[in-house]
Structure formats: structure tokens, C-alpha cells
Amino acid sequence: MAGYGPVMKISDVLRNKGTEVATIRPDESVTRLIEVLADRGVGALVVSPDGTAVVGIVSERDVVRHLHRTGAAVLNGPVSAIMTSDVTTCSADDEVESLARTMTQRRIRHVPVLADGRLEAIVSIGDVVKHRIDALQSERDQLVEYIQQ
């Protein structure tokens, strides 16, 4: 709820989650994309030619949709053919609540975090939800401790 407790920032989420980001070059094959998704155990990769510039994002859903539309030939094509190039991003100073609202409204599950236009981290809807649940649990524990004193 707005107005209760401290304002949670994306930097708070990153403090617990870390800043490692899995990326893939736009010229890599979709088959390679699937390998990296599976090996890393993630649902999306930031598409970047150099690991710092963000030119797109690609998810498991993108693979499935394009497989359905065009068949197995998509597997040999480049990641750039199936990626989303209009990427929603945020900064570490953004509020968690605001990002959660944006992610829900736009139906997106992964948002790259930029600092000075460079890729710094990635936040998933799961990271946001986990952080909010942890904060609520901490608040609950503090209230119980206060009441028991």
C-alpha cells in the first residue's frame, strides 16, 4: 500500500538478487538461445552485441510463438528475428511498486536495469514479488515483536 513503510527501490531488490545478467548477441541462432536459456535456468535473455548495450529482449514465449507461426526453420534463424526490440527498462533508483505496476499493465516479466544507458542488471516479476513478500514478512515480524514486548 502506498504511504506505508519505506519506499522500496530496485536497488533494494538487486542487493538481494545480485546483478548478473545473461545476454545473447542478436546474430546468434535461436537454437543457441534455447541452449543458453536452459543452461542458465532463466526465462529471458537481454539481447546485446557487447554485453552493455540493450538492443532487445528475448524470452521462452518468443521462441514458442515463432515456432508456432513459422515452424522449426525459426531455430536456424537469428535471435534478432524473434526478439522484442522495444524494451521497457528501469534504473536502480526506480520504485519497486511503480515497476510492478508497469510490468503488470504491459504484461512483461523481465526488465533490464540500466545505469547511464548501460546494462547493469535484470529484474523479473518473480524478483519483485519475492522482494515485496520478504518486506511484508519482515514488517510482520517487527510488529509481532513489538506487540510481545
Domain ranges of the chain: 10-148
Local structure of 149: helix, strand or coil: coil
Q: What is the pLDDT of residue 123?
A: 95
Position 5 pLDDT exceeds 80: no
How many other β-carbons are positioned within 10 Å of the β-carbon of residue 93? 10
* Distances, alpha carbon 69 to alpha carbons 26, 65, 74, in Å: 20, 6, 9
Position 28 pLDDT exceeds 90: yes
Over residues 65-82, mean pLDDT: 95
Residues linked to residue 19 through DSSP beta bridges, in sequence order: none
Over residues 115-121, mean pLDDT: 95
Q: What is the pLDDT of residue 140?
A: 77
CATH class of the domain whose range is 10-148 = alpha beta
